[in-house]
Structure 1
C-alpha cells in the first residue's frame, strides 16, 4: 500500500473524518497522522482532549504496522502516557514499528503539540500491538 491508498483508507473511517485527521507520511514501518486543533477537540481547561490524543496514537500505530503487515490489521491493544497538556494549533502523531513478525507488530508513537510558530512539544507517548487479520467483517445490517 502506498501513501495515497493509505489516505483513502483513513478517509473511509467516519470518525477520522469527524476529527479531521490527515495521514502525512506512510511506509517503511512508519506513519505520521496529523490533526488540526479546533475548539470542539478541547476539554474544559482548553487543552486538547486526551481522547483525541489516544485516537491519534491508535491510528498512527495501526498505520505504521500496516505498512509492514499489510492492509488487513487491527489494534490488539495500546497504552498511552500523557506527559504534558496538548496545546497549540496542530497535533502530530509519529509512529514507528519497533518489531514485526508475520502476524503482529509492536509500534511506538510520540505525540507532539505544535505551536503556531512550528515549535513542537512532546505531550504523550504510546506503544501498541497490531495484529494481522485474515478476514474483516463488514458493517452489520441489524
Structure 2
C-alpha cells in the first residue's frame, strides 16, 4: 500500500523517494542526494529534508490511522548540513487517536559505507480525512 501511495505522488517520483519500511506506526523514507537537490554550498537543500520529514511523518501515521491522512502541520530543526549520498527519514507515531496522530522523525545522511549522521529532527500532527 505504501509503495502504491508513494508512486501516485508525482513530486515523490520526481525526487526518486522510496519507502523502505512501513507498518506498526513507523515508516522509513529514503532518497538519493543528487546534485540537482543541493543548494549553493553543496548540501542537500532544506526543502528536500522538509519534504522527507513531511512524507515520513505522514506514512508513519498512515500505518497507524489508515490511508486517508494528511499532514496537519510539522516543525523541523536542522542540526547539521546534509552531505551524504543518501537521505534517510525515520518516523514513528508517538500517539495515535481516532482522528489524529503525533509523530516524530529523525533525518540522517548515510555515507558510502553506511555510517549515518543525524542532520535534522521533525515533529508533526497528521489528521484523518473523510473521503
TM-score past 0.5 threshold: yes
Q: Distance in 2 between matches of 1:88 and 1:116?
A: 8
Gaps of 5+ in 1: 136-142
Match of 2:6 among 6, 10, 20: 10
Equivalent residues in 2 for 1:39-78, closer than 5 Å: 39-78=35-74
Query: How far is 1:94 from its partner?
Result: 0.1
TM-score using structure 1 length = 0.91
Residue of structure 1 aligned with 2:123, choices 127, 130, 139: 127
Q: Displacement of 1:65 after TM fit? A: 0.1
CA offset digits 1:23-69 (Å, max 9, x no partner): 00000000000001110110000000000000000000000000010
Please give the per-residue CA displacement for 1:59-116, whole angstroms capped at 9, x wherever unaligned. Answer: 0000000001000000000000000000111000000000000000000000001111
Cα drift, residue 117 of structure 1: 1.3
Q: Which runs of 4+ in 1 moved over 4 A?
A: none
Does residue 29 (structure 1) correspond to residue 25 (structure 2)? The answer is yes
1:95-134 matched pairs, under 5 angstroms: 95-134=91-130
User: 2:77 matched to which residue of 1?
Assistant: 81
Larger Rg: 1
